[in-house]
Amino acid sequence: MQRRDFIGAGSAMIALALISHSASAQADNSFSPSPPSPGDPLIIKNIAIGQGQPKVIVSTTAADSETVKTFVQAQAKTTDSSVIELRLDLLKNGKDAAAMVRLTQELYAMLPNKILLVTFRTQAEGGKQAIDDERYAALYRQLLSEGKLDLLDIEMYRPAPQVEQLIALAHRQGVRVILSSHDFKKTPSQAEIVSRLRQQQAMGADILKMAAMPNDPGDVIRMMSATLEMVQRYAKRPLLTMSMGGMGALSRLSGELTGSALTFGMAGSASAPGQLEARDLNQALALLHHALAESS
């Protein structure tokens, strides 16, 4: 499929999403039809998350630190992304806290104008490696105390006391937190998606994240509609939502319309199913941004 055809098909699905959302909203007179407005943008390194077109995240996918450093050094020079995600679980020594502290320090120095996000995506939520709760928390505590990073992804369904302590420590260290939830088997109901995002906000997250696997186009529409509902009704923080896989690719493009402030692209290898090349993604986001600006 050519890029022009892909974007055209995407526009049709966005329209379907809005029709579906509008139909459900008619049954609830309390719902506001105003554009997405989750409050003030989150500013990190002069990058406004939640303002303008969605900011692109590119993840590391290498298994060794030297290859990661080469990749990040190259990405620091591009304009295709605003955030670099260091995926610890993909590294062979990703559980070695001291080594990861040193790596974050080196990468942070390479990224004066981009945000460094650090993530250990556990096997239970689609990552490469399993890790027990104690070691997960200990790794993150050491990274927050001794490493250098702007953003930390914490899985919301780790033990509540550990999550609360990590959020508090991150904020004391000046690090912002993404609380995340992933479902690689199905897409929950719209009410459940909104409920999880609201819970993340109540727990103190700076960015709210939900990703799920669609089994049919209706699942993609439901994720987009839930995002819009969350932004219009409840959100005081930026959102990061997506449907995964090839079917969900549209959700990675439509964030400025539905209210998802960030989106994942790839440079080389994908870190999750359904990611688009960062350069193509950024160009498509810019096209949609200009179209939306003209219609406002």
Helix (H) / strand (E) element for 98: namely: helix 97-110
Of 45, 209, 236, 289, which is the active-site residue? 209
- Using DSSP's 3-state secondary structure scheme, residue 294 falls into helix
Q: For residue 73, which of 99, 112, 117 has the smallest C-alpha distance?
A: 112
CA distance 72 to 268: 12
Q: At what angle do helices 97-110 and 65-75 cross, to 10 degrees?
A: 20
Q: What residues contact residue 240 under an 8 Å CB cut-off, 6+ apart?
A: 178, 180, 207, 208, 209, 210, 260, 261, 262, 263
Residue 225 exposure: Cα atoms within 13 Å on the Cβ side: 25
Task: Evaluate whether 53 touches 289 at the Cβ level (below 8 Å).
Answer: yes
CA distance 29 to 195: 20
Give yes or no: 171 in active site: no
CA distance 103 to 118: 11
Of 148, 171, 182, 236, which is the active-site residue? 182
Known catalytic residues?
A: 182, 209
